[in-house]
Amino acid sequence: MSKIAFLFSGQGAQYPGMGKSLYEESSAAKKVFDTADKIRSGTSEQCFTGALEELSVTKNTQPCLYCVDLAAARALEEAGIHADFAAGFSLGEVAALTFAGAFSEENGFAFVTKRAEAMQEAAEQNPGAMAAVLKLPNETVEKLCEEFSRVWPVNYNCPGQLVVAGEQEELARFCARVGEEGGKAVPLAVSGGFHSPLMDSAAKKLETALREIPVQKPGLPVYANFTAAPYGEAVRELLVSQVKSPVRWQETVEALAAEGVDTFVECGAGKTLCGLVKKTIKDARIFRVEDIETLKAAVEALKG
């Protein structure tokens, strides 16, 4: 029997106008944005009319993308499509956990707002950058990172793609070394060295913040970035570790496939995760939902 996993998009997928048609045509999606606006005034307007520059500031990016992620998943549910499993890439993991009931919608949004502020502050205090390394085995990239004191492998995305983070000057030298080894390093449009030790101060702040936020074990299996395995009771601990540790995305997708998942639906802005799944699982059925058109297309295909 076919099993479905909802995948929740991460930072970098943002664009002006995202989520607007879902808000206008799905009552379940509208509720997500309305809840966010009560906690952080203007969030929906920022999604719908904000400029790309504004949306790309971390303290704005994360709350906005969270809303689009969760709104897409709620709209799918409203249309009768239900997930057997869930996973989210970095920021998307908070939306996945909220979708699965680990947080209430209010508390999930409150947490993602605190996460965004803490990560932006850490990035300002410890400036960093990220680059995707292509055409080299992971083992080669890891060895190259060991040549530098402030460069780390952080996002294991799919076969042949490993993202690294580091201090800007060292990362530039690292990228040159990648070229010498026959690989290609592509700088990413992000505002910090996420999922690395440069985020240690953010992790400490979130550890404190999570003590005040009610959390419970998800009602649906949600695969954690930190372990590439389902969350249990230790939701707070894994969320703290996630901010400063690598995202094991390829392993996560492979683990979901091993559980019988053959259909993956990316919920949220863009189609980055669709591409990563396609490169990881050869015969997977892959859909995305980011607006009313893609929602209708996915629902028609999944119900057919």
- Residues with catalytic annotation? 90, 195
If residue 257 lies in a helix (H) or strand (E), which one and from where to where? helix 249-258
Give the integer Cα–Cα distance in Å for 131 and 133. 6
Indicate if the alpha-carbon torsion angle 287, 302, 97, 67 is positive or negative.
Answer: positive
What is residue 211's DSSP assignment?
A: T
Q: Name the nearest CA neighbour of 36 among 63, 11, 72.
A: 63
Q: Compute the distance between CA of residue 272 and CA of residue 291 in angstroms, rounded to an integer.
A: 15
Query: Hey, is 154 helix, strand or coil?
Result: strand
Structure-token match 């259909």, residue found = 263
Integer Cα distance of 303 and 291 in angstroms? 18
One-letter amino acid of 206: L
| Separation of alpha carbons 87 and 94, rounded Å | 9
Q: DSSP assignment of 169-181, as one string?
A: HHHHHHHHHHHHT
252-255 own/partner pairs: CB under 8 Å, 24+ apart? 252/87, 252/223, 252/225, 252/228, 253/87, 253/158, 253/277, 253/280, 253/281, 254/280, 254/281, 255/223, 255/228, 255/229
Q: Is the dihedral of CA 54, 209, 129, 12 positive or negative?
A: negative
